[in-house]
Structure 1
C-alpha cells in the first residue's frame, strides 16, 4: 500500500455569512489545520485569546468555508484501487472531486474514506464546510430541544467537540477545518480495514477485518501476526473477510502504572500478503496487563477500585481537557511536557473528559510510555442528547471507530459513557423539560457498553461519571458519595472548602477550586475594557474584559466568598491574585489529604482539572502558558507516594502517614507544638510503621492538639524529609509576622538559587518568577517553615535578573504578608444557593 499525504497547496475562502472585509478573499490553508488559525496567520483577525476578541469573532459561528486543492492523482495501475482518506473534518462538510460529490460529513470525531479510482482525471478537490451552528439548530428544530448546560448553544445536536461552543473555563470559537491529515492511499487486492488486539497478561488475540478492492477476482490472502518473537499466521479464503489469530507470549513482561513497576512496550505487527507480495501492514506498541473495576458492595456502600494485574491502584488523577482550544496547534512535544507535569505532581491517571475530543495517538502513546492511566469518556457531556437518526448512527459510528483505534494502548483502563448526563437528568430539572423525548439514556446504559463488550472485552465500562453501579430508580442517586463514582461541586459552588471533610466518597472523579492563571498570563492577555492595565482600574474583577476570562457562573463572587474566612479579600489586584491562588492550593491540598487518609475506602480521586486551553481564571493546576500554579506544588506534596499529614479525624487532630509504595515505611516521627517564634510548648515522638500500599492514622494526645493561644501556635510533624504543619486558626485570626523571612539570592548554573530562613513561622512560602521573566520557572512552592527552618528554591531562566528582586514581593510571597494588606468585603452572591452544574 502506498500513502501520499495531501498537506500542501490548500487554500480556503468564505462562501457564506457576514464576514468582515479583512477575512474575505482566499487564504493559504494549513492541513491539518483550522480556518481561524489560517486567518490569524494571515493577519486577518486579532489574536482570539486576547481581551474581548472572543465576541469580536462571533461572526465566525455562522459562516461557510471552502477548502480547495489540486492533487496530482496519477491514473491507477491495473488492479489498483485509489482511496481519498480524511482522518478528521470539522465538522459538517461536502467533499467533491471535480463536480462529483464523494460524500457528506457530520462528525468531527470520525474518519472518512472515498473510492476515487475512476475519478483521477478530476483535478480539483473541494471541501465545503458549512456552519456547525446552523446545522445543529436545524436538527434541534426537527427533533425538539433538549436541555444542556450551555443553553442556547446547540452543542448537543452536532458531533463536534462540545467545548468548541464555550464552557465555564473555555472560549466560544466554533472552529472549522480539515483538522486531521488528508491522504491518498493506493492498494491492490485487499487491505487491513480494522485490527483489534485484545491483550491480556501473556496473550494477544488479534481480530483482523479485511476490505477487498473489488477490482479483481477475489483470492485467498495470508495474515501473519508477530510480537516478542511469537508468531502466528492464517490463510483467509477468498470468500471470507475476517480472521482471528491467537498468540501466547509466556515471557511477556507486565506493564504497570506509574509507581507500581515498569512500562515495557512490545511491537505488535500484522502483515497481509498475497503470495510473495506484501499488501498491507499494521503495527502498534502494546503492553501486557489486565484491568478490572471492583464495584462490589461492602459495609460502607459500593466500591469503585481500579485493579491492574490484580493489584488495587490508589488513583491520584486529574481531569484532562483539550490543551489548546485550537486543537491543531497541539504538538507531541507539548503533550509530553504536560504529561510530565502530571507525573511531576505525583499523578497516575488522567481522565479524558467527555466534552472534548478523543485525543491524538501521540497522547496515548506518551501515556503508555509514562505509565499514566487513562480513563476515557465517550464524548457526551452535561446535556441531553437525541437518540433519533441520523444522530444515533453518528454516535455509534464514532464510538466503534475510536474504541478500535485506542484499544492497543495499555494506559487506557476504563471506558466511561459520558459526563454528568445521568446526574443531570436526575437533578437539573431535565425531566420536566424533556417530557417523552429521548435524552441519551440508551447510549450510556446500553449502546456504549455493548460496543465495548463486543470490540474491546479486555476493559471495563462505566455508564457515566458520576455513576452508582446497580442503581435502583427512586432508591439510589447517580451522585451518591457512598456508591461508585462521585462529583463534589457543592464545595466550589456554595460551601467552604473545609466541607470536603464532611463526606468519604468511594471514588471522587471530579472536584476542584478556582484561581487565576500566572500573573504574566493574566496581564499579558487581559486588559481593562478601556485598554488600561488591570492594575490601573478601580474594579478589575468586575471589568467586562476580565469577565470574558472568568467563565464560571458568579466565579469572582465564589472566589472572594471562599477567600474571606481564610486569607481575607485583598483590595489590590496583586494581593488578590496571590490570595486567590493560595486559597486554591489550600482547598485542593485539604481535599486530597482527606481523601488519601481514607484509603482504601476512598479508592481514588481525580481533580478538576490539570490544564487550560487559553488564558483564563479556572480550576486548572497548570495555566495555558504551561506555568504551574501554586496549587500544583501543593498537590505534588499532598499526593507524594509517601506523605505525612496532620488532619482531623472524628473531630480530633491526628497524624496520617500514607505509604503508596511497595516497601514498608518505618521510623520515628517527631511531633511538636510550638509558638510562631519557635518556642517549644510540647513534644512527642511516635512510631510510624506503615505497610506497603497502606495508611496509618495515629491519634495525638491533647497536650499536642490543644493550644494555649490558637492565634500564634502551630503543630509540626517531621519524619525524615517529610514535614507537616498545622495552624489552629485561619489566617484572618492568626498573629502572623508579616515579614518572617530572611532571603538571599545568588546566580547559579541555569538561573538563580533563593535561600530563605524563617525567623518566625512562615506560611506557604511561594515564588512567582514569571513576574520577572517569561521563561522563569521555580522548582518548589507553597512551603511552610517553622521558625528556624531553612529551604532553597531554584529558579531556572535565561534572563539576566537582579537577584534582590527574587527576595521580595511580588516575587517572593507568603501567606503572612497578606496580613499587612488592605482587605474588603467579599462580593455578594448573585443568585440563590450556587450553580448546580460543575466545571466538567
Structure 2
C-alpha cells in the first residue's frame, strides 16, 4: 500500500509501479496522456510518498546462513526501514540494492517494510543550491535517475517515484552464484573449426569447504566443464573462479540479415563434496566477435568507423530506441510492447538499435529478444545532455551503477558496444556551457567529465566486461564540418533548418542520430483528443508537441517542401510524408556512400506517449510513412538513384548495394517517365555482377540533350536477376521538391483477393505516397503502405492484422498527396469559391 507522506489515508499499490500509476489505479489522478490532463499531474512530483508492506517469513528461509532483501529498482531517493529500524538509504534508480536482514527479520510475527520516497525535484533544488558556485546546465544532474522524466523534446515532464522493479527475499547457505562472464576467442572466419570459451563465475562464499563447479550445455546435453573448488578460507565477499573449454565446429551468432543468431544455453552449477546442488544459474550465450574498426584510410584522409561481425564488415541499419513508456513498470508488465517494437525493427530490416542514454537500462526481456532475433545494440550508459558532479561520492555511485548493470547484461551477444554518454562532450564544446564558468572552474568541470567517462566507467568495464568496445561519448564529431572519423548527430536538418538536400553532402562515417518530425495517423490522434482539438493551434495539439520549436519547424519545412493542405487531416498525412521524404533522403545518402559511411541510425523508432515527434512508429504501434520507407531503403539489396541537377539528365548515376554474402548477377534498368505514364527514355546495363557485401555505382548516359520538365517527370529503376528472372528491387525518384510537382489524378484501380486477404493496386498515372487506412482503427497492419505506384507495375498489399478484407473493403480509404491540395475540394465547394471570387471581382 502507499500514501502521500504524513497523510492518514493509505491506498492499494500494484508494485512494481510508480506513484503516478498507483494514483491512476485508485482514481486519484486522470490519465496524463489524454488531452491536456498532463497539466494536472505536476503536484505529484513535489511531494514525498511512502510505500509499506506487511509480510511474514518462514523458519526455513530464516534458518539460512544469509538472508537478504534485494531491491532491484527504487526510484530514487529513499529511506528504507524494517520493523521500525532504518536499514538503508538509496539514491540511484539504476542500481540494485542488497541488504543483509537476517538479524532484523522476525519469524514469530508480521514484519513491516516501509520505503519513504523523497521528491526528486525537491532534492535536485537543494543539491543545486549546495553545489554553488558551480551551476550545472540541466535540472536533473544531481539525481541518478532517468533524465527523460524531467521532460524531453518528445516527452512530457512526469517525474516519477516508486518501486519500479521487484523486491525479493534471497536466502542461501554456503555459496551463491553472484555473476557469470562468458568470453570466446576471436572469430575471424565464418567457418571456424573451434572456439575457445573461457571466463569466470563470481560467487559469494559463506562457508569454507570443497565444492565442484560444473558447466552443462543444455542443448547438446553434455557436461563441458568440471573443476574442484577448495575454499579453505571464509571470505564474505565475491570470489572469482575461472573456467575454460572448447567447442568444436561452433555455431556463430549473426545479425538477422547475415545468418542465424544461434544461442548456446549453459547451465552453471556448484555442488558440495557429496554432489548436492548448492546453487545453479543458466545463461544464453552467442559465440561471436564484434570489433569496431578505426583505421586510417584514403577516403577523406580520415579514419574509418564501422563494425566487423565475425570478421565481416557490416553496415548498421536501424534507429534510436527510447523508453517505451513514461511509466516503465507498465512496460515491464506488458512484454508484448517489447516484442512488437523489436519486431517492428526486424520488419523494417534493421540490424541495430541504439539504446539512448536518457532513459533506463532496460528490462531483461529487451536484451533477450534482441539476442534471439539477431539485432545488435549500441548501448548508451545513462547520461544525456548534461554535466555531472565529479565528487568522490558521485563517482562511487556511478561505479556501482555500472557494475550492477554490466554484470547483469554482459553475456548478451546483442550488445555491440558501451557508449559513455549522449551529447555531453558536444554540449561542452558547442552549446555554450563553458560560458557558465570562470577559467578555473572550466578546468574543474571538464576534469569531472574526464573522471566519469574516461576513467571511472572504462575502469569498471575493464574489470567486469573486458572484451566489449567502449566509446566515451556520442557524437565524437561536429555535424557541421568534421565528417572524417567517429560518429555524428546530423541535426543541421531540423534543428538548424537547413535544406533536406544537405544530407547528400554532409555524410558522416557513422550517423548515430538524424531525423525529422512528423505527426501521427489521424486514427491515433483520435485516441487522445476530441474533434474540437483537431487544429494545430489548439492547446491539446500544442501540448502533444514537446519540442520548443516543434510547430515552427514543422511549418517551416511544410511550407518549403509542400503545398498548403486543405484541412487538418490532410496536414496530418502530408507531415508524415514530409518526415519520410526527409529521413529517406538521409538514409539513401548514407548507404550510397558506404564504405566511407558504415552506419545509419535515425532518430527514432518509438515514442513514450502520444506525441508529434521523430518516431517512425507512434505510441499506439501504428507505422508512420517513415517506417515503411525505411524498410524499403534498408533492404539488403537496394538501388539508389543519385541526385541530378542536369536539366537534360544526360548522365545518370545509380548505386546498387548488396548486403548479402553472395554475388548477384542481373540487369539494371533506369527509366525516365512523365506523371501521365509516358516513357521518355529507357537505359540498361546488362549482366552486371554486384559483389557480395558491397556498393557498386554505375553511370548511364542518355543520347538526347533535350531539357526535361522536372515538375512532371520522375525516374524509375529496377534490377532483374539473371538467375530467377524476378525483380529484386524497384525504386522511384522524383526530380523536384514535392511543392513543385504537377501531380495528375492517380486513377487508382483496386482488385480484391478475399481468399488471400490481399488487394492489388494499379494506376495509369503516377501515384505518390499511396496511403491505405481505416478512419477510426489503429490496429490495421498492411504488408506495404505509403508507397509510390507507377504505370506498368502493380502493388500487392496483404492485410497482416486480424481484419478480413471482405469485412472492411467498403470502409477502406485510399489517399495520395494529390488529395491533400485545395484544388481537390468537392465540386460544389469549388464552384461556390469560384462564384464568390467572380462576385468579389
> Taking structure 1 as the reference length, what is the TM-score of the superposition?
0.89
> Are 2:629 and 1:634 equivalent residues in the alignment?
yes
Residue 590 of structure 1: aligned partner: 585
Displacement of 1:355 after TM fit? Answer: 0.3
Q: Give matches, 1:336-485, under 5 Å.
A: 336-435=339-438, 436=441, 437-438=444-445, 439-467=448-476, 480-485=482-487
Residue 790 of structure 2: aligned partner: 786
C-alpha distance in structure 1 between counterparts of 2:133 and 2:672, whole Å:
61
Greater displacement, 665-674 / 422-431: 665-674
Distance 1:705 1:177, change over 3 A: farther
C-alpha distance in structure 2 between counterparts of 1:218 and 1:389, whole Å:
35
In the alignment, is the contact (CA less than 8 A) between 2:124 and 2:143 conserved in 1?
Answer: yes
* Deviation per residue, 1:4-57 (Å, 9 max, x gap): xxxxxxx1111069xxxxxx8322111222221111112211111111222210
* Deviation per residue, 1:86-122 (Å, 9 max, x gap): 1111111111110111101111101111111112216
C-alpha distance in structure 1 between counterparts of 2:126 and 2:396, whole Å:
18
In the alignment, is the contact (CA less than 8 A) between 1:354 and 1:380 conserved in 2?
Answer: yes
Distance 1:394 1:649, change over 3 A: farther
Residue 669 of structure 2: aligned partner: 670
The DSSP-based 3-state class of the residue aligned with 1:28 is coil
C-alpha distance in structure 2 between counterparts of 1:416 and 1:145, whole Å:
30
Greater displacement, 226-235 / 500-509: 226-235
C-alpha distance in structure 1 between counterparts of 2:705 and 2:345, whole Å:
35
* Deviation per residue, 1:708-729 (Å, 9 max, x gap): 2222222211223321212222
Instruction: Give the root-mean-square deviation of aligned CA atoms.
Output: 2.3
Number of residue pairs matched by the alignment: 779
In the alignment, is the contact (CA less than 8 A) between 2:571 and 2:820 conserved in 1?
Answer: no
Distance 1:395 1:749, change over 3 A: farther
Which ranges in structure 2 are unaligned for 5 or more consecutive residues?
A: 188-194, 721-726, 826-841
Distance 1:186 1:569, change over 3 A: same
C-alpha distance in structure 1 between counterparts of 2:201 and 2:449, whole Å:
31
C-alpha distance in structure 1 between counterparts of 2:132 and 2:390, whole Å:
11
Residue 731 of structure 1: aligned partner: 738
Greater displacement, 702-711 / 41-50: 702-711
Residue 765 of structure 2: aligned partner: 760
C-alpha distance in structure 1 between counterparts of 2:645 and 2:201, whole Å:
57
Displacement of 1:552 after TM fit? Answer: 1.1
In the alignment, is the contact (CA less than 8 A) between 2:318 and 2:350 conserved in 1?
Answer: yes
Greater displacement, 360-369 / 795-804: 795-804
C-alpha distance in structure 2 between counterparts of 1:77 and 1:778, whole Å:
56
C-alpha distance in structure 2 between counterparts of 1:418 and 1:709, whole Å:
48
C-alpha distance in structure 2 between counterparts of 1:514 and 1:758, whole Å:
30
* Deviation per residue, 1:668-715 (Å, 9 max, x gap): 122221222222221111134210011111112245897522222222
Q: Give matches, 1:806-821, under 5 Å.
A: 806=812, 811-821=813-823
Distance 1:699 1:42, change over 3 A: same
4+ runs deviating over 6 angstroms: 145-149, 476-479, 649-652
Displacement of 1:732 after TM fit? Answer: 2.3
Residue 21 of structure 1: aligned partner: none
In the alignment, is the contact (CA less than 8 A) between 2:288 and 2:310 conserved in 1?
Answer: yes
Greater displacement, 545-554 / 24-33: 24-33
Displacement of 1:126 after TM fit? Answer: 1.0
C-alpha distance in structure 1 between counterparts of 2:705 and 2:768, whole Å:
19
Residue 532 of structure 2: aligned partner: 533
The DSSP-based 3-state class of the residue aligned with 2:785 is coil
* Deviation per residue, 1:523-547 (Å, 9 max, x gap): 32134xxxx5233xxxx22222212
In the alignment, is the contact (CA less than 8 A) between 1:232 and 1:247 conserved in 2?
Answer: no
> Are 2:122 and 1:138 equivalent residues in the alignment?
no
Which ranges in structure 1 are unaligned for 5 or more consecutive residues?
A: 1-10, 18-23, 469-475, 824-840
> Are 2:269 and 1:265 equivalent residues in the alignment?
no
In the alignment, is the contact (CA less than 8 A) between 2:566 and 2:822 conserved in 1?
Answer: no
In the alignment, is the contact (CA less than 8 A) between 2:564 and 2:822 conserved in 1?
Answer: no
C-alpha distance in structure 2 between counterparts of 1:286 and 1:245, whole Å:
15
In the alignment, is the contact (CA less than 8 A) between 1:575 and 1:821 conserved in 2?
Answer: no
Residue 472 of structure 1: aligned partner: none
Residue 487 of structure 1: aligned partner: 489
Displacement of 1:128 after TM fit? Answer: 1.0
Residue 246 of structure 2: aligned partner: 248
Distance 1:665 1:96, change over 3 A: same
Residue 288 of structure 1: aligned partner: 287
C-alpha distance in structure 2 between counterparts of 1:705 and 1:749, whole Å:
50
Residue 316 of structure 1: aligned partner: 317
Greater displacement, 549-558 / 771-780: 771-780
In the alignment, is the contact (CA less than 8 A) between 1:74 and 1:120 conserved in 2?
Answer: no
Residue 836 of structure 1: aligned partner: none
In the alignment, is the contact (CA less than 8 A) between 2:479 and 2:490 conserved in 1?
Answer: no
In the alignment, is the contact (CA less than 8 A) between 2:68 and 2:101 conserved in 1?
Answer: yes
Of 62, 65, 69, 1:84 maps to 69
Residue 471 of structure 1: aligned partner: none
In the alignment, is the contact (CA less than 8 A) between 2:523 and 2:776 conserved in 1?
Answer: no
Residue 831 of structure 2: aligned partner: none
Residue 714 of structure 2: aligned partner: 714
Q: Give matches, 1:473-552, under 5 Å.
A: 480-493=482-495, 494-527=497-530, 533-535=532-534, 540-552=535-547
Q: Give matches, 1:9-24, under 5 Å.
A: 11-15=1-5
Distance 1:246 1:620, change over 3 A: same
* Deviation per residue, 1:770-797 (Å, 9 max, x gap): x242322222122212234322323344
C-alpha distance in structure 2 between counterparts of 1:210 and 1:625, whole Å:
44
> Taking structure 2 as the reference length, what is the TM-score of the superposition?
0.89
Residue 5 of structure 1: aligned partner: none
> Are 2:9 and 1:25 equivalent residues in the alignment?
yes
The DSSP-based 3-state class of the residue aligned with 1:222 is strand
* Deviation per residue, 1:186-244 (Å, 9 max, x gap): 2112212232223345233232232233xxx6334333233453213231423263311
Distance 1:650 1:728, change over 3 A: closer
